[in-house]
Structure 1
Amino acid sequence: MSARTDRRLHFNLFLHDTGHHEASWRLPEADPHALLDLGYHQRLARIAEDAKFDSLFLADSPALFGDVGRRPQGSIEPTVLLAALAVTTSRIGLIATASTSYNEPFNLARRLSSVDWISGGRAGWNIVTTAGEAAARNFGLEDQPLHSDRYARASEFLEVATRLWDSWEDDAIVADKEGGVHALADKVHSIDHRGRYFRVDGPLNAPRSPQGYPLLVQAGSSEDGKEFAGRWAEAVFTAQPTVEEARSFYADVKRRAVGNGRDPEHVKILPGLVPVIADTEAEARELDAELDRLISPEYARRQLARTLRVDPESLAFDRPLPTDLPDEDDIEGSKSRYTLIVELARRENLTVRELIGRLGGGRGHRTFTGTPVQVADTIQEWFETGAADGFNIMPAVLPSGLEVFVAKVLPILRERGLFRTEYEGNTLREHYGLPRPANRRVLAGV
């Protein structure tokens, strides 16, 4: 398969403890304490940077998720970890998840601006609205806010955060020792925001950062999520199990960006890809089967029942999903992930046991088991047929899955002219081919 485009792929590495397969920690070579080991994260970051990945990404939740008895749980707060990774890397972008439901705009805008300064312009923010009752109860709420309310708060949160990042004009600091003037006061502005969710005076207590503000990433694929992405996102992490669904999502989000007066090329769509790679198909299938054998069926069924909002006992292992599942409109949690899982099971007529196996590797993301050439062919097909601008790479096992992808898949893509051999810029925005945002206050002339 030969390259037919002048575009270049974008790759983000999604770091997830011992790997994205839920049983990866049970492999003999896995370190079940890795998720709390700074050195482990630093080694993975350096592998990705040496391979010229655009960025790496750390997920997060403000609640303990899952069963602590069945998989390693707990993690280092991601913006803190990014600060540590910033001083042991020099070029790769650094993206952290932070919730708009359980943070305040001023504190989070300041933290992310600080990471952008520390890293020399490599910070990104994965914006989430956070579903789930457990998180709500950690913040004094009896139940999670409604899905629509979470997105309304998120939109106002972004309005406040970006205005805070724009509260210093780029030329505000003059550092005039002779005249005794460090900054021009008329170029540092309050924002005086008064809204439904927030009251913030500003200005931010830090100058505008190297990128203007961190790269804005979003991961929701519901109707509210896609509308939010069209308004705000500069990169979108999405779960799309088939190329047809990915093409539809890609076109939809780009169209929404245009509807918001934006350049669709300034929104990069990166579906998740969970590759299981070996030199032969048989070896790859055996590795995949070994991982699936290590899944705890009862634990996986409880997790699936939680997502579907049903009693675990209603999910018979060797029967299809029940026909009387809730409608997406009745789900106040992760609507798009719920729909993805149900549609996958219905489309392929999977039993609960088979569905558990499909979800164990990537929680609904595209999984692919095969040789390096087959993985490269799949990536190229999605990239060149309007399904992706790049991929959120989610190795089933870490670090080995990343090492194999770097050593055996990337050389094929480079030979086809689809991926960089060297970084061409220094900031995360430059890696993604995105402009530094102009200060909106200055553009408006106020």
Structure 2
Amino acid sequence: MTAPPGRRLLHLAAALDRQSAYDAASYVESARLAESGGLDFVTLDDGPARPGPAALAVLSQVAPATHRVGLVPTVTATHTEPGPVQAAVAALDRVSRGRAGWRLGAPAGPAAAEAARPRDGTEPGGTEGGGTEGDGAERDGAGRGAPVAPWSPQGHLVRVAEATGGHACGTAARHADVVLVNATHPAQAAAVRDRLRDEAARSGRDPGALRVLAGLAIDLRDGEYAAERGGEFPRSEHGREPGGGGGLRRTARGPLYRGGPVDLAELIAAWHREGAVDGFHLVPSDPRRDLERLVNGTVTLLQHRGLFRTFYPGGTLREHLGLARPVDRRTGRSGARRAGAEGAA
């Protein structure tokens, strides 16, 4: 499936967070559903609102039960001890054969930036290249020093960050591959994306290698249409306001869409037409109900209109996102041969 001329396909991701699951079985079911719709990746947060095992442990059980969908846990790292965290996420990446990312849970700032910096010698936003042909974990310098993140089948792990404030915006632009932004109108989202790209360019990165997704909570309890009027956001028939905020409202936790899957597809398509964002990270209010309606309703409509993929173009999360493999700063050697061996394993 290809996008209309001059237009890139959407990127779509979904959260698996739920408040009543104590084992991995329900998460496996949801991840498989997301995979059936071709979603780029799923996220899972840690925190007191979600009981049961840690997000990383849950997704480590989801990995062997899925084949293509990316897996992105929220993992908190610190400036002083990022190594064990990176190693744990790297293990998820190897088990999933290059489908892992991590959503940094540390507060924005210099410590978070340092924790997010890749320690496998790769340069973000580079051209085809990647991991070296060493054994397991690479080490700093000429074989000396503390071990850093093990070689990844996708060059280095995909890093997901939020840009909800000035400092967070700068940190995300310099270090993240995917940035989540909160916006209730496409013009607002476009302004944030422009700022992120400018900051990325100033830091020496290719701004086109940054994927900016609008974060949106969704409540699809109402029929096919029935988009709820969102206060100051006007709507037209069935809640559709091209490029506007029909069915969208501000809440204390961020933008919320309440309505049906058809109108949600219209809203996503309208933002895509205006080039506001590269896609959406959708957070279901009721994971079982809303994810099913998202995949079988909204995603199907977007696929029919040629705006979203009908199959995965490759096996790794970086491939789903259209991100090049990073350049290895230390050797410049390509990881292509090793990547092929991993894929054939």
Which TM-score tier does this pair reach, normalised by the shorter chain?
Answer: 0.7 to 0.9
Please say if 1:394 is aligned against 2:283.
yes
After superposition, the C-alpha distances for 1:79-137 in whole angstroms (9 at most, x for unaligned) are 1111111011011000011123387221112111111111100010111324xxxxxxx
Conserved? CA contact 2:123–2:326, under 8 Å: no
Alignment correspondent of 2:159: 216
Alignment correspondent of 2:205: 262
TM-superposed CA distance for 1:240, in Å, is 1.5
In 2 relative to 1, CA 249–358 (structure 1 residues): closer, same or farther, beyond 3 Å?
Answer: closer
After superposition, the C-alpha distances for 1:342-372 in whole angstroms (9 at most, x for unaligned) are xxxxxxxxxxxxxxx9537xx11x2223343
TM-superposed CA distance for 1:156, in Å, is 2.3
Where do residues 68-87 of structure 1 align in structure 2 (5 Å cutoff)? 73-87=50-64
Task: Determine the C-alpha separation between the residues in 2 that align with 1:371 and 1:189.
Answer: 51
Alignment correspondent of 2:322: 433
Conserved? CA contact 1:125–1:214, under 8 Å: yes
Conserved? CA contact 1:372–1:408, under 8 Å: yes
In 2 relative to 1, CA 100–441 (structure 1 residues): closer, same or farther, beyond 3 Å?
Answer: same
Task: Determine the C-alpha separation between the residues in 2 that align with 1:244 and 1:169.
Answer: 39
TM-superposed CA distance for 1:386, in Å, is 2.8
In 2 relative to 1, CA 116–369 (structure 1 residues): closer, same or farther, beyond 3 Å?
Answer: same
SS at match of 2:8: coil
Conserved? CA contact 1:105–1:161, under 8 Å: no
Alignment correspondent of 1:250: 193
Where do residues 108-187 of structure 1 align in structure 2 (5 Å cutoff)? 108-130=85-107, 151-159=109-117, 161-163=119-121, 170-173=132-135
Q: Which has the higher helix share?
A: 1
Where do residues 53-92 of structure 1 align in structure 2 (5 Å cutoff)? 53-61=39-47, 64=48, 73-92=50-69
After superposition, the C-alpha distances for 1:365-405 in whole angstroms (9 at most, x for unaligned) are x2223343321121012122132101001112121111111
Where do residues 243-392 of structure 1 align in structure 2 (5 Å cutoff)? 243-277=186-220, 278-282=222-226, 285=228, 359=251, 363-364=253-254, 366-392=255-281
Conserved? CA contact 1:169–1:188, under 8 Å: no
Structure 1 spans left out of the alignment, 5+ residues: 19-32, 65-71, 131-149, 174-182, 193-199, 289-356
Conserved? CA contact 1:57–1:94, under 8 Å: yes
Identity of aligned residues (%): 30
Task: Determine the C-alpha separation between the residues in 2 that align with 1:45 and 1:218.
Answer: 21
Conserved? CA contact 2:70–2:99, under 8 Å: yes
Please say if 1:41 is aligned against 2:41.
no
> Who wins on radius of gyration, i.e. which is larger?
1
Conserved? CA contact 1:163–1:191, under 8 Å: no
Which stretch shifts more, 270-279 or 256-265? 270-279
CA RMSD of aligned residues (A): 3.0
TM-superposed CA distance for 1:241, in Å, is 2.3
After superposition, the C-alpha distances for 1:132-185 in whole angstroms (9 at most, x for unaligned) are xxxxxxxxxxxxxxxxxx51112222346344999x952235xxxxxxxxx9xx
| TM-score normalised by structure 1 residue count | 0.62
Task: Determine the C-alpha separation between the residues in 1 that align with 2:85 and 2:53.
Answer: 16
In 2 relative to 1, CA 91–43 (structure 1 residues): closer, same or farther, beyond 3 Å?
Answer: same
Task: Determine the C-alpha separation between the residues in 2 that align with 1:411 and 1:6.
Answer: 19
Structure 1 letter corresponding to 2:147: P
| TM-score normalised by structure 2 residue count | 0.79
Task: Determine the C-alpha separation between the residues in 2 that align with 1:188 and 1:43.
Answer: 35
Conserved? CA contact 1:169–1:442, under 8 Å: no
SS at match of 2:190: helix
Alignment correspondent of 2:74: 97
Conserved? CA contact 1:165–1:208, under 8 Å: no
Structure 2 letter corresponding to 1:406: V
Q: Which has the higher strand share?
A: 2
SS at match of 2:296: helix
SS at match of 2:251: helix
Structure 2 letter corresponding to 1:398: P
Number of equivalenced pairs: 306
Q: Which runs of 4+ in 1 moved over 4 A?
A: 2-5, 162-166
Task: Determine the C-alpha separation between the residues in 1 that align with 2:165 and 2:264.
Answer: 28
Conserved? CA contact 2:117–2:175, under 8 Å: no
Structure 1 letter corresponding to 2:95: I
TM-superposed CA distance for 1:5, in Å, is 4.3
Task: Determine the C-alpha separation between the residues in 2 that align with 1:104 and 1:120.
Answer: 25
Structure 2 letter corresponding to 1:190: D
Conserved? CA contact 1:251–1:386, under 8 Å: no
SS at match of 2:65: coil
Which stretch shifts more, 266-275 or 238-247? 238-247
In 2 relative to 1, CA 164–373 (structure 1 residues): closer, same or farther, beyond 3 Å?
Answer: closer
TM-superposed CA distance for 1:73, in Å, is 4.5
